[in-house]
Amino acid sequence: MIRALLIDDELHARDGLRFQLQRESDISVVAEAIDGPKAVDAIIRLRPDLVFLDIQIPGFDGLEVIRRVSPIHLPLVVFVTAYNDYAVRAFEARAVDYLVKPIRADRFHEAIKRVRQLLTTAQSQKDFHERLLSLIQSREPLPATPASTYYRRFTVREGRRFVIINAADVDWFEAASNYVELHVGGREHLLRVPLSDLEKKLDPVRFVRIHRSTIVNLERIAQIQPTQNGDFNVVLTDGTALRLSRVFRDRVMVSK
């Protein structure tokens, strides 16, 4: 059994990886970590065979994680990144595999196939580790952050399965304790992330906060109607009326 560790500060991203790994009967997720220090601790303590490692995580980045654990335990590493294919050619040239968010199923299976091949012989693993250490020791500058790292898709649970929802298809988001409820064409889906965290990953050109508990897709706004008490409601194209807080009114009323 291949013991895997998931390292990513985004719960949504870890959910997606776990969903993909459910189909791999020979891989088990032993733990998860959300920042550099916790990642180093988990790798040293658990000695996983495989790590899915986000390049940009709080504390210190993924390359620093590898540098710190390399004298003690160096697992196989699949980098997870928001960088595009062109920007990560340096990783590919060193035979360090990577997955670009949002992760495609076919690309994920290619990475898993490669992991299995590397695990077949000690020499293959040694070669992989030498190339990885070469990347860490050279400490080449990380590629520039893409202009847009906003969420483009969401993976949500629907019964016993997961479904993919395009961000552009979401009509509005509603806070539900530590969850967010996605409203999509009259249907609701729960996403395990606080609304404040989600807002940072939404494209502000498309989505706007209208209330402390509500974020709306601007393309779904049909009207802004005054109420009897002097406030306003945002009316969507499907007729849904949502309260527009005075604090956020300028975000919606301004013309762009």
Which pLDDT score is estimated for 83?
Answer: 62
- Distance (Å, rounded) from C-alpha 227 to C-alpha 243? 10
Residue 254: which residues within 8 A CB-CB, separation 6 or more? none
Sign for the CA dihedral angle at 106, 5, 145, 148 comes to: positive
Residues of the chain with confidence (pLDDT) below 70: 83-96, 135-149, 254-256
Which pLDDT score is estimated for 138?
Answer: 63
Which pLDDT score is estimated for 11?
Answer: 83
The structure's pTM equals 0.56
> In Å, what is the CA distance from 33 to each residue of 10, 36, 82, 156, 221?
10, 8, 18, 21, 39
- Identify the structural domains of the chain with CATH numbers, from first to last: 2-138 (3.40.50.2300), 166-253 (2.40.50.1020)
pLDDT in tens, 181-232: 999 999 999 988 888 888 888 888 789 999 999 999 999 999 998 887 778 9
Which pLDDT score is estimated for 217?
Answer: 94
